Amino acid sequence: GAGVSQSPSNKVTEKGKDVELRCDPISGHTALYWYRQSLGQGLEFLIYFQGNSAPDKSGLPSDRFSAERTGGSVSTLTIQRTQQEDSAVYLCASSLSGGAVSTDTQYFGPGTRLTVL
């Protein structure tokens, strides 16, 4: 079946602009995660959605970052007033049950490479 998809695959923007990154999880997966992969910081957790519960935003690096998940499916990560340090690959992952099952596997999308000039 279809895996996790993300769009766009590449995004180049100017410092100070807002960007939106999209994630389509695997159908039927209730848990959705965003991570960031950058040269300086490695792979970092950003935010987690599970069903209708309040999201876990503990990994968001600043209030310029926000995310929403509509209808329990598609998620959008928004970065406002982008800075050069936001340049990274943003990865989305989904799992069947998330926190409800301790052994769930997270399946990753191909990522969006964001470059802030």
Partner 1 sequence: GDSVTQMEGPVTLSEEAFLTINCTYTATGYPSLFWYVQYPGEGLQLLLKATKADDKGSNKGFEATYRKETTSFHLEKGSVQVSDSAVYFCALSDRQGAQKLVFGQGTRLTINP
Q: Which of 82, 91, 84 is nearest to 19 (CA)?
A: 82
Contact yes or no for 12/2 (Cβ under 8 A): no
Q: Which of 78, 76, 72 is nearest to 53 (CA)?
A: 72
Q: Site for partner 1 (CB under 8 A): how many residues? A: 24
Residues 92, 77: Cα–Cα separation, whole Å = 10
Residue 65 in the binding site for partner 1 (CB under 8 A): no
- What residues pair up with 69 in beta bridges, in sequence order? 75
Q: Which stretch binds partner 1 (CB under 8 A): 20-28, 69-77, 78-86, 104-112?
A: 104-112
Residue 90 in the binding site for partner 1 (CB under 8 A): no
Q: Which stretch binds partner 1 (CB under 8 A): 10-18, 62-70, 80-88, 94-102?
A: 94-102
By CB under 8 A, the residues from 21 to 60 that bind partner 1 are 33, 35, 42-45, 48, 50, 56, 59
Contact yes or no for 63/49 (Cβ under 8 A): no
Per CB under 8 A, residues contacting partner 1 are 33, 35, 42-45, 48, 50, 56, 59, 91, 93, 98-99, 102-111
